[in-house]
Structure 1
Amino acid sequence: MPATRSITLLSAGHACVDVYQGAVAALVPFFIAERAYTYAAASGLVLAASLLSSVAQPLFGTLTDRRALPWLLPASTIVSGLGIAMSGVTGSYALTLVVVALSGIGIAAYHPESARAARVASHGSHTAMGWFSLGGNVGFAVAPLVVAAVIATGGLRLSPLLMVPALAGSALCLPAMRALGRPVRQPRSTGRARADDTGSFIKLSLAVACRSVAFIGLSTFIAVYAQQRASGGPIAGMAALCVLYLGGAVGTVLGGRLARRWDRVQIVRRAYLATTVAVAGIVTVPGPALYLFVALASVGLYIPFSLQVTLAQDYLPSRVGTASGITLGLAVSVGGLLAPVIGRVADATSLQLALSPLIVMPALSWLLFRTLPEPAVLLARGGRDHKSNP
């Protein structure tokens, strides 16, 4: 089916782009080892990738609400890869921040447009959106493997080789755009559309932001933390990061399947409650058991991921690009803004103490979701996978 083919291509392209979101955290141990960066300096790279992305992504979302910009898909993919590819060969810390920020802008430009295209191709199905989101999770998951394969063999000087996924992703965008025809055109309402629920959307965005703080905090430092708590070397750290990202892929698929039987808000509430316990385990339990808690926390953090995107789009049916830009961008990357704070606390005390506040973040998301309703069906769906709250 054309829709299935389009979602598959968009998901594969999403994987190629999100390699560069995962690559920033995967590069942190190498910057610390090769350039002797402090925790605060290394986490500043995460901030650089997040700061401009946080600001730019909602702007790109608003722009794509007004007009179709399909050229953004291949162009932003190239920009995303270029920044990370240059990060290992820059001559100064300041220039490294600049090129990492450039990658963040590329990622910001990609997500609103691609999410709109996925929504159009899937007729608003949150199950299909789950498969689209899965592509991003796979990109995150393979990022440590790609970075380790390139950088561990020859050092940061080989970082230009990290451009390869971007070239592949930009090529995948072209048949996806042809398959969709006009992929980013929002379908006309059939008269069943409901007014925007701005209040619920704001609460949702705050919950996603709290999730972002927990996830970005873990992804930035889990590789170094696992080396300390599991008494292992760099391989132990990369293994923990892979578990974190692979658990996200499992959680995304599981979230889509659960949403076919129960309403999304209820599923997300329970996932965040379980995640609170799992993050507490990461912080407090030493030894190999750490990897179990990393996996549980990752699944719990990602069960809500695609469901939150479709919830946001349903809360703002007249501004799908904006909703996608904020939930995939501003509210997600805002966690990177606090990464340097965690790094400074870790430099002054210990990494374990610095990560302890992350336990509170999914608990706050759970509290916010306790006040959110399950939206009614806003547009005609292509399948029976959207369930209203009874």
Structure 2
Amino acid sequence: MNNALTSKQQTQLTTVYGVLYAISGSHLINDSIQSVVPAMNPIFEQHLHLSFAQIGWIAFVLNMTASVMQPVFGYFADRKATPFLLPAGMFVSTLGLIGFALSSHFYMILASVFFIGIGSAVFHPEGSRVAYMAAGSKRGLAQSIYQVGGNFGQSLAPIFTAFIFVPLGQKGALAFIAITTVGIIMLMFVSKWYKAQLQTAAFSRKGKTVHKNGYPIHPKIKVAIALLVFLVFARSWYVAGINNFYQFYLMEDYGLTVRHAQLYVFIFMFAGVLGTFFGGPLADRFGRRNILSLSMIGAAPLTLALPYVPLSFIIPIFFLIGFILLSSFSVAVVYAQELLPKKVGMVSGLIVGLAFGMGAVGAVALGMLADLYNIKFVMILCSLLPLAGIFTWLLPSDDRVRELTKHV
């Protein structure tokens, strides 16, 4: 009996790297499709004559569907896991991608973006759950491997603009259908593994006591979740400002071309990929809350300086901001999962989805402010957002989190 228990515990502590790499690769493809949308912004602005506010609305539809719906799908996944929703979600995104490439009217573009967003919303909670199940004892590292795929996919938006959409135009998006096909095949493999895990004692719900009204959540846990959502919300507004509008700031204030401006944004996003990867292992060693705090407070002096520096300083400062600010990307998810360990799908959707989806509201607001004032005003406003990091010290420490959840 003891030997069997030990074997089961060892299985739970084993990190399944093959599955982690597969779900990370699928995450890269999923978020690459999402990044096609902001990558097309300069093309729409020049050829369809869309306003900054309309570009903000495109970002709003994408982020509200891709993000705000995540905790909804996560909630139902916690109640009844459905492994094959993963490839189904990517198929829905592919349909949206086809419409996006062929649409010539603003409202048709919004409808296509809606499908891309829904497919992504289906993917993310179950993807986070797979990473959690395959993590073993290395939750920070596992979540970093998973999230770095998505962040790298998002970072490709400037490259897509510079090398695909500038020369090929809107229909260049059709080339991504081949990529999503590969993603669907990879997700079929992941889904089969996922389904097998649900049949094991470690992840099956059979034989477990089910509370009709759920399990009690400590009031301090609720406060911590609310504060964590606020912090991720503030960070997402900053990233939304950079991803959607900084390219126009570089073009207007520094006189860069579309292609040149995209490469600067890529530096920021690629640095964020590196930060995401290293943030998880650092949090495993130095604590979740400590890395959360460092990522925002450490980036604040650099974000405050960015709107005023000469062009030659932008790349090194941009790189440091991206690395430091996004080092807590995966850490925030793991911290939230440990706050609510029985609701992994919902809380993953809440942090990766709803909180980041609120950045869509920021994209619309920033677009309207850019039309009303100017791009530089928006960049200065964005530079203040990481100062919200001072509130991270109100979060419970890692040890306190374990105390609050030990009976869950």
Q: Is TM (by shorter chain) over 0.5?
A: yes
Aligned mates of 1:78, 1:286 — CA distance in 2: 45
The reply to whether residue 337 of structure 1 matches residue 361 of structure 2 is yes
Q: SS in structure 1 opposite 2:286?
A: coil
Report the alpha carbon displacement of residue 360 of structure 1 after superposing the two structures with TM.
Answer: 2.4
Aligned mates of 1:371, 1:58 — CA distance in 2: 24
1:15 aligned residue (28, 33, 41) = 28
1:187 matched residue in structure 2: 203
1:169 matched residue in structure 2: 183
Aligned mates of 1:259, 1:194 — CA distance in 2: 27
Aligned mates of 2:331, 2:306 — CA distance in 1: 25
Give 1 or 2: higher helix fraction.
2
Name structure 2 gaps, 5 residues minimum.
1-13, 210-214, 403-408
Matches within 5 A, 1:77-88: 77-88=90-101
Deviations 1:186-208 (CA, angstroms, capped at 9, x unpaired): 737999x9956222111111111
> Structure 1 residues 340, 255: CA separation in 2 closer, same or farther (over 3 Å shift)?
same
- Bigger Cα displacement from structure 2, 63-72 vs 123-132: 123-132
- Bigger Cα displacement from structure 2, 207-216 vs 227-236: 227-236
Matches within 5 A, 1:186-225: 187=203, 197-225=221-249
The reply to whether residue 102 of structure 1 matches residue 115 of structure 2 is yes
1:276 aligned residue (300, 309, 312) = 300
Contact 1:19 1:165 in 2 (8 A): no
The reply to whether residue 45 of structure 1 matches residue 58 of structure 2 is yes
Report the alpha carbon displacement of residue 301 of structure 1 after superposing the two structures with TM.
Answer: 2.1
Report the alpha carbon displacement of residue 22 of structure 1 after superposing the two structures with TM.
Answer: 2.1
Contact 2:289 2:398 in 1 (8 A): no
Q: SS in structure 2 opposite 1:88?
A: helix
Contact 1:269 1:369 in 2 (8 A): yes
Contact 1:150 1:161 in 2 (8 A): no
Contact 1:121 1:180 in 2 (8 A): no
Q: SS in structure 2 opposite 1:187?
A: coil
Deviations 1:248-288 (CA, angstroms, capped at 9, x unpaired): 11101221232233111112111101221222232222313
2:390 matched residue in structure 1: 367
Report the alpha carbon displacement of residue 96 of structure 1 after superposing the two structures with TM.
Answer: 0.6
Contact 1:22 1:139 in 2 (8 A): yes
- Bigger Cα displacement from structure 2, 275-284 vs 56-65: 275-284
The reply to whether residue 5 of structure 1 matches residue 29 of structure 2 is no
Aligned mates of 1:354, 1:195 — CA distance in 2: 39
Aligned mates of 2:244, 2:285 — CA distance in 1: 34
Amino acid at match of 2:307: V
Deviations 1:267-313 (CA, angstroms, capped at 9, x unpaired): 21111012212222322223132222222221122101000000000
TM-score by length of 2: 0.86
Aligned mates of 1:135, 1:194 — CA distance in 2: 34
> Structure 1 residues 300, 167: CA separation in 2 closer, same or farther (over 3 Å shift)?
same
Report the alpha carbon displacement of residue 368 of structure 1 after superposing the two structures with TM.
Answer: 2.5
> Structure 1 residues 285, 81: CA separation in 2 closer, same or farther (over 3 Å shift)?
farther
Matches within 5 A, 1:120-159: 120-123=133-136, 125-159=139-173
Q: RMSD across aligned C-alpha pairs, in angstroms?
A: 2.5
Aligned mates of 1:69, 1:76 — CA distance in 2: 11
2:333 matched residue in structure 1: 309
TM-score by length of 1: 0.90
Contact 1:74 1:174 in 2 (8 A): yes
Report the alpha carbon displacement of residue 67 of structure 1 after superposing the two structures with TM.
Answer: 0.8
Report the alpha carbon displacement of residue 157 of structure 1 after superposing the two structures with TM.
Answer: 2.8
Deviations 1:310-348 (CA, angstroms, capped at 9, x unpaired): 000011111111110011100012111121221121122
Q: Percent identity over the alignment?
A: 24
Counting matched residue pairs gives 378
Matches within 5 A, 1:226-237: 226-237=250-261
Report the alpha carbon displacement of residue 147 of structure 1 after superposing the two structures with TM.
Answer: 4.4
> Structure 1 residues 301, 23: CA separation in 2 closer, same or farther (over 3 Å shift)?
farther
Q: SS in structure 1 opposite 2:16?
A: helix
Q: SS in structure 1 opposite 2:289?
A: helix
> Structure 1 residues 308, 344: CA separation in 2 closer, same or farther (over 3 Å shift)?
same
Matches within 5 A, 1:52-71: 52-71=65-84
Contact 1:26 1:144 in 2 (8 A): yes
Amino acid at match of 1:236: H
Aligned mates of 1:114, 1:241 — CA distance in 2: 27
Name structure 1 gaps, 5 residues minimum.
380-390
Amino acid at match of 2:112: V
1:388 matched residue in structure 2: none
Aligned mates of 1:184, 1:112 — CA distance in 2: 16
Aligned mates of 2:170, 2:28 — CA distance in 1: 23
Aligned mates of 2:298, 2:43 — CA distance in 1: 32
Aligned mates of 1:8, 1:128 — CA distance in 2: 9
The reply to whether residue 260 of structure 1 matches residue 284 of structure 2 is yes
Q: Which has the larger radius of gyration?
A: 2
Contact 1:119 1:129 in 2 (8 A): yes
Aligned mates of 1:271, 1:2 — CA distance in 2: 26
> Structure 1 residues 317, 206: CA separation in 2 closer, same or farther (over 3 Å shift)?
same
> Structure 1 residues 2, 265: CA separation in 2 closer, same or farther (over 3 Å shift)?
closer
Aligned mates of 2:101, 2:50 — CA distance in 1: 13
